[in-house]
């Protein structure tokens, strides 16, 4: 590896996962199994992808760990918080994502991962009623208890670094409220004043992580680190943040497929996406206020790839008040399918002289199987970013996210186009490895 300015990945990396549900336990089990050589971390960019370095005769394809110093799977220590007290073995069995034969070899390790008490407010996820919950008088007290959890975990496990990843339920929709969310001082005051309407529990986790020196990643669509107050905190603490909402099934397909329509200058009249899923995530999303958070996140993908204002002839039609194509997303809770989500997309396109055509996509996916490698990559890459001295919103991680964080106060648009995101990802790795950025696709 070339000499870089990135600090080495020495010592143990603590990964503290908020939520000990389907995604979290599938992620943890897979890492523990992979490092014993009992499975393969399929789908993980950090473990499989290769980046071209140099051009022409000099070109080489290197894996990420040959370009930058990445933490090894062997150095990871897991911890978690959840409103239910079951350890990660019990939770993995309950989730029924993985077969018992794929969990049992690491049963002893999973049993040792016992959730710390959650910072939780039932108003933010009405369908949950676990009792492994902190009793806090104010949001500020929540922050202080979480900070203590992080410090204790780090010390007890001899970690040199910690990353905090939110893989807990989607909270109710919290609209951005300028008087509280725009400055750090106002956010801190609201936490002290126990403003429960504007301070979600997830914000307490993020605040605690950043003040304890840990990067924070938001894997759900919650309003958490996508507010100016948190950007200010990330800048002050010089730590990376990333969010939001893992880009796994239908939206991955959408952000990879929409460029086909856009690059061939075909028209779009409408895109209807619907899903059925039956896991606890689906149960929480069955509550309209929680679904709203997800809907906003899922809808945002298409508009920045197929832009009505840039191509009114192609994307300015449809039924959405005649300003653009019609775009609808539905999620239906359907218990028989558990984690095996099924998504349908019906795409109404048009071609030469306006003649209509249809495309149908039916994705029979497995939600947590798709999310687990993203958890690994997001944790390893935000730890890398911290060691490289990068802080604030990490735009190169947009590749993994449905609704990438961006500075809306300055009119910045997120990049949702999968292949542009891939270029951003590779260029950030190249840059951290001391190589030149490159726009070529391979």
Ligand X SMILES: NC(=O)c1ccc[n+]([C@@H]2O[C@H](COP(=O)([O-])OP(=O)(O)OC[C@H]3O[C@@H](n4cnc5c(N)ncnc54)[C@H](O)[C@@H]3O)[C@@H](O)[C@H]2O)c1
The smaller minimum CB distance to ligand X, of residues 246 and 435, is found at 246
From start to end of 200-256, where are the E strands? 216-218, 240-243
402 versus 430: smaller Cβ distance to ligand X:
402
> With DSSP H G I counted as helix, E B as strand and the rest as coil, what are the percentages for the chain, rounded to 5?
45, 20, 35
Rounded to whole angstroms, the Cα distance separating 436 from 440 reads: 12
Shortest CB 169 distance to ligand X, Å: 4
CB closer to ligand X, 314 vs 331: 331
Please give the Cα distance from 29 to 210 (Å, whole number). Answer: 26
CA-based torsion, 130, 132, 136, 142: positive or negative: negative
Q: Which C-beta is closer to ligand X: that of 33 or that of 118?
A: 118
Decide whether 243 or 392 has the Cβ nearer to ligand X.
243
Of 67 and 116, which has the nearer Cβ to ligand X? Answer: 116
Distance (Å, whole) CA 258 – CA 303? 10
> Which secondary-structure segment (H or E) carries 258?
helix 250-263
Least distance between ligand X and beta carbon 322 (Å): 32
Report the DSSP beta bridge partners of residue 350: 267, 356
- Cβ-proximal residues to 393 (8 Å cutoff; 6+ apart), any chain: 225, 231, 234, 241, 242, 405, 406, 407
Instruction: CB nearer to ligand X: give 29 or 248.
Output: 248
Separation CA 138–CA 120 (nearest Å): 11
Residue, CB closest to ligand X = 21
**Closest approach of ligand X to the CB of residue 398, in Å:** 14
Q: Which helix H or strand E contains 362, and what residues bound it?
A: strand 356-364
In angstroms, what is the minimal distance from the CB of 244 to ligand X? 9
Shortest distance (Å) from residue 125 CB to ligand X: 5
Please state the closest distance from residue 343 (CB atom) to ligand X, in A.
Answer: 10
The CB-of-266 to ligand X minimum distance in angstroms stands at: 28
> 6 or 217: whose CB is closer to ligand X?
217
Determine the 3-state secondary structure of 379 from DSSP.
Answer: helix
User: What is the rounded radius of gyration, in angstroms, for the C-alpha atoms of the chain?
Assistant: 21
Preceding amide of 103 cis, omega within 30: no
DSSP codes of every residue in 76-126:
EEEEEEESS---HHHHHHHHTSS-GGGTGGGHHHHHT--PEEB---GGG-T
Task: Find the shortest distance in angstroms from Cβ 191 to ligand X.
Answer: 15
The residue among 198 and 317 lying less far from ligand X, judged by its C-beta, is 198
- The footprint of ligand X (CB under 6 A) covers 18-24, 81-84, 95, 118-120, 125, 128, 130, 167-170, 201, 219-220, 245-246, 248-249, 279-281, 367-368, 370-371
Distance CA 135, CA 152 (A): 19
Q: CA distances (Å), 131 to each of 70, 118, 121, 125, in order?
A: 37, 9, 11, 13
- Shortest Å, Cβ 170 to ligand X: 4
């Amino acid at each position: 590896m070339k000499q870089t300015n990135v600090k080495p990945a020495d010592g143990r990396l603590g990964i503290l996962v908020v939520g000990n549900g389907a995604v979290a336990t599938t992620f943890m089990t897979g890492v523990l199994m992979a490092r014993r050589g009992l499975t393969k971390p399929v789908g993980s960019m950090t473990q499989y992808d290769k980046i071209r370095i140099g051009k022409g005769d000099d070109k080489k394809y290197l894996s990420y760990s040959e370009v930058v110093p990445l933490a090894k799977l062997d150095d990871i220590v897991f911890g978690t918080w959840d409103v239910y007290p079951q350890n990660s073995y019990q939770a993995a069995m309950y989730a029924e994502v993985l077969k018992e034969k794929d969990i049992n070899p690491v049963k002893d390790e999973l049993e040792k991962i016992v959730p710390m008490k959650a910072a939780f407010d039932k108003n933010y996820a009405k369908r949950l009623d676990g009792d492994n919950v902190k009793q806090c008088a104010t949001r500020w007290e929540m922050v202080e208890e979480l900070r203590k959890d992080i410090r204790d975990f780090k010390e007890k496990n001899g970690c040199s670094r910690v990353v905090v990843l939110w893989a807990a339920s989607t909270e109710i929709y919290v609209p951005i409220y300028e008087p509280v969310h725009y400055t750090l001082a106002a956010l801190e005051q609201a936490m002290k004043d126990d403003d429960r309407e504007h301070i979600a529990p997830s914000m307490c986790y993020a605040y605690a992580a950043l003040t304890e020196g840990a990067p924070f990643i938001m894997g759900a669509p919650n309003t958490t680190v996508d507010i100016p107050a948190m950007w200010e905190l990330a800048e002050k603490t010089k730590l990376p943040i990333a969010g939001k909402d893992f880009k796994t099934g239908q939206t991955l397909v959408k952000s990879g497929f929409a460029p086909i329509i856009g690059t061939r200058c075909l028209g779009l009249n409408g895109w209807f996406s619907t899903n059925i899923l039956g896991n606890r995530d689906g149960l929480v999303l069955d509550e309209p206020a929680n679904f709203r958070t997800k809907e906003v996140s899922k809808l945002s993908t298409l508009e920045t790839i197929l832009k009505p204002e840039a191509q009114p002839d192609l994307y300015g039609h449809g039924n959405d008040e005649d300003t653009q194509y019609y775009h609808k997303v539905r999620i239906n809770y359907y218990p028989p399918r558990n984690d095996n989500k099924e998504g349908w997309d019906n795409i109404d396109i048009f071609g030469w002289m306006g003649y209509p055509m249809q495309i149908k996509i039916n994705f029979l996916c497995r939600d947590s199987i798709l999310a687990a490698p993203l958890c690994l990559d997001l944790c390893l890459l935000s730890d890398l970013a911290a060691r490289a001295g990068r802080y604030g919103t990490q735009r190169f991680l947009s590749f993994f996210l449905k609704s990438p964080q961006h500075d809306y106060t300055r009119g910045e648009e997120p990049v949702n186009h999968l292949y542009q995101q891939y270029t951003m990802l590779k260029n950030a790795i190249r840059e951290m490895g001391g190589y030149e950025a490159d726009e070529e696709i391979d």
